[in-house]
Structure 1
């Protein structure tokens, strides 16, 4: 049947780890390392097309992807759903994966939240679109809806890299580019974060910003948010503390921020026997500010 319809089949699958330089960006779990890692999935088919997907880095994810190669090789591209089904059925939960994802703020479990097959699915859809001559927006949605999509600038408190000389964070202090010079340097004050936002606005045109929180006290970070709103009164300003605050603290911090914050991402996590979903619902009802999450709904069962 495959030969009769002349459908492309997958002829190779390669998993390629890549790395790039990072700055000493601060988060709830500490500082970013001097480099960040990703895993690329490169699929090639019998029509000569190449499909690419990418996912979080790390040996665990790389090995999970490589274990899928026998389930992908020599399969018809158009049966990509069958390929994914075979991967799902063959998958086994790791012994120390309790299914809670990262809603308990245990970042070491991130590798269990990021499903490696997502990279394979993206690469497969890339091949399907090329075989049919269709854009992804036509293949998965209702076609092209707009010519441009505005994105926000992601702001981070940046620690002093000189405190960890042995890690060899990149030094760009001699760059002719203002942003390249700034991004590797310490930025911890309200004024320095506003300067970071202005520099990103000048270089890339960002008008809306999200601040990575969970680094200092909630009160300090809210002062930074207010400073950003003052500097960009027409901008949409958001904060993501990665669930660092208790429910009561989150309510106290955000109750009077309706005219400053557009939304709050993961302000609080599970507490007192209640799940993150229940706690976030209480928060939203109390402050009437939209919420977002990428921590508490990481498994389809968690949506029910």
Structure 2
């Protein structure tokens, strides 16, 4: 029996974001997201979460009206209608931390929140959790990694957040201690590409001394040349679980991979399935970070996982600023993905308690227990949604731009890849 869609709504929201540094610049005071609600004829509502930048919102708005009457089980129809609605649109992000854009990647980003919402509806209709729709349970708990950032104590003119300043090894170690104490993370990742490489090597060494049993990762977002990447890898041999996107491009990554002792990971040079043949031929990467937000949803990410399994490539999950709907989707994907061989990334600690679901999933010993109720297993907090929408209207931001924001305080700053 068909279960047609009767209504789709998209609500742009904003929530406070700490002053986190990366190779592109500095996080602005507000993170932008969008909440998708898809209502079916039986009154059930499926939830999705996505980016909140104005160009992306415009494309989501083009897709929403063409989904009227679509069966919630028709994921092929979703992609077909979405492709017709947005045409050859290409809306790259301004920060460039997720690799090159294309019309295909734009379509994948646009389809994702609707696909998650439809899977949520399918689960509610069948009384099954989303992980069951993705192939079944392979783990009861999905482990995540603590995500460390160089950061200022506060945005200029604002009060410091609970994590305070972290601009040197001691500050990062203290940040990690707070995060591990609160969430129990069993592995740690540092967002690098911010300070000169020797300073970041010192940070890794300090983290290893403070956390001798925690796997460590370093992600400079293509801030280094091949030569610098090799030098850093040699200095951190035996310290890192993997080195993520040290240098731009599949060719550059292959040069580094041939010369270093640890695996290389990426979410910037393998961003479509079409990138994998060259990556395999060159042996450019040994770990790919999936992200359902830009791989076309949960089924697209499951396809990526299957291809990686075929070629013996490790798998983790990338994270951007996100709330509880996205976390739930990540947990269901992780629950059903046999070859999720590395702890997933999460920005949850950096949302500082903000969420849009009534009962956020919780971290215990660095992992989230897999929900067993129908669908995603989370419920929208409509009061929080209204507050965050009001913050969106008031904050004045309509597109994330880390580079321009940092230039307000460092006028000569340029986004360079590579920088060192």
Higher relative contact order (CA 8 A, sep 6+): 2
What is the root-mean-square deviation of aligned Cα atoms in Å?
2.5
1:35 aligns with 2:8: no
Cα deviation, residue 19, structure 1: 1.2
For residues 50-77 of structure 1, give each alpha carbon's deviation from its aligned partner in whole angstroms, at most 9, with x where no partner exists: 1111111111111110100232111111
Partner in structure 2 of residue 120 of structure 1 = 114
Mapping 1:10-29, distance limit 5 Å = 10-29=5-24
Contact preservation (8 Å) 2:100, 2:268: no
1:144 counterpart (132, 137, 146):
137
Counterpart Cα distance in 1 of 2:273 and 2:189: 27
1:153 aligns with 2:146: yes
1:131 aligns with 2:125: yes
Cα gap change, 1:95 to 1:152, in 2 (>3 Å): closer
Counterpart Cα distance in 2 of 1:49 and 1:230: 51
Contact preservation (8 Å) 1:102, 1:296: no
Counterpart Cα distance in 1 of 2:17 and 2:260: 35
Cα deviation, residue 95, structure 1: 6.9
Contact preservation (8 Å) 2:22, 2:193: yes
Partner in structure 1 of residue 332 of structure 2 = none
Cα gap change, 1:231 to 1:102, in 2 (>3 Å): same
| Structure 1: runs of 5 or more not aligned | 173-179, 270-275
Cα deviation, residue 187, structure 1: 1.4
Q: TM-score, normalised by structure 2?
A: 0.61
Cα deviation, residue 113, structure 1: 8.7
Cα gap change, 1:293 to 1:255, in 2 (>3 Å): same
SS at match of 2:271: coil
Cα deviation, residue 112, structure 1: 4.7
Counterpart Cα distance in 2 of 1:301 and 1:188: 38
Cα deviation, residue 86, structure 1: 2.3
Cα deviation, residue 83, structure 1: 1.7
1:287 aligns with 2:266: no
List, as ranges, runs of 4+ consecutive aligned residues in structure 1 with deviation greater than 6 Å: 103-107
Cα deviation, residue 104, structure 1: 10
Mapping 1:16-95, distance limit 5 Å = 16-94=11-89
For residues 163-211 of structure 1, give each alpha carbon's deviation from its aligned partner in whole angstroms, at most 9, with x where no partner exists: x32xxx4x25xxxxxxx52x2x321010010000011111111231100
Cα deviation, residue 300, structure 1: 3.4
Partner in structure 1 of residue 171 of structure 2 = 192
Counterpart Cα distance in 2 of 1:13 and 1:294: 30
Counterpart Cα distance in 2 of 1:102 and 1:157: 18
Counterpart Cα distance in 1 of 2:108 and 2:191: 20
1:261 aligns with 2:240: yes
Counterpart Cα distance in 2 of 1:95 and 1:293: 22
Counterpart Cα distance in 2 of 1:116 and 1:96: 10
Counterpart Cα distance in 1 of 2:96 and 2:272: 11
Bigger Rg, which one: 1
Counterpart Cα distance in 1 of 2:229 and 2:140: 37
Q: TM-score, normalised by structure 1?
A: 0.83
Partner in structure 1 of residue 182 of structure 2 = 203
Partner in structure 1 of residue 309 of structure 2 = none
**Range moving further from structure 2, 288-297 or 50-59:** 288-297
Partner in structure 1 of residue 327 of structure 2 = none
| Structure 2: runs of 5 or more not aligned | 278-420
1:218 counterpart (182, 197, 220):
197
Counterpart Cα distance in 2 of 1:96 and 1:247: 29
1:246 aligns with 2:219: no
Partner in structure 2 of residue 273 of structure 1 = none
Contact preservation (8 Å) 2:62, 2:85: no
Partner in structure 2 of residue 236 of structure 1 = 215
Matched pairs, number: 274
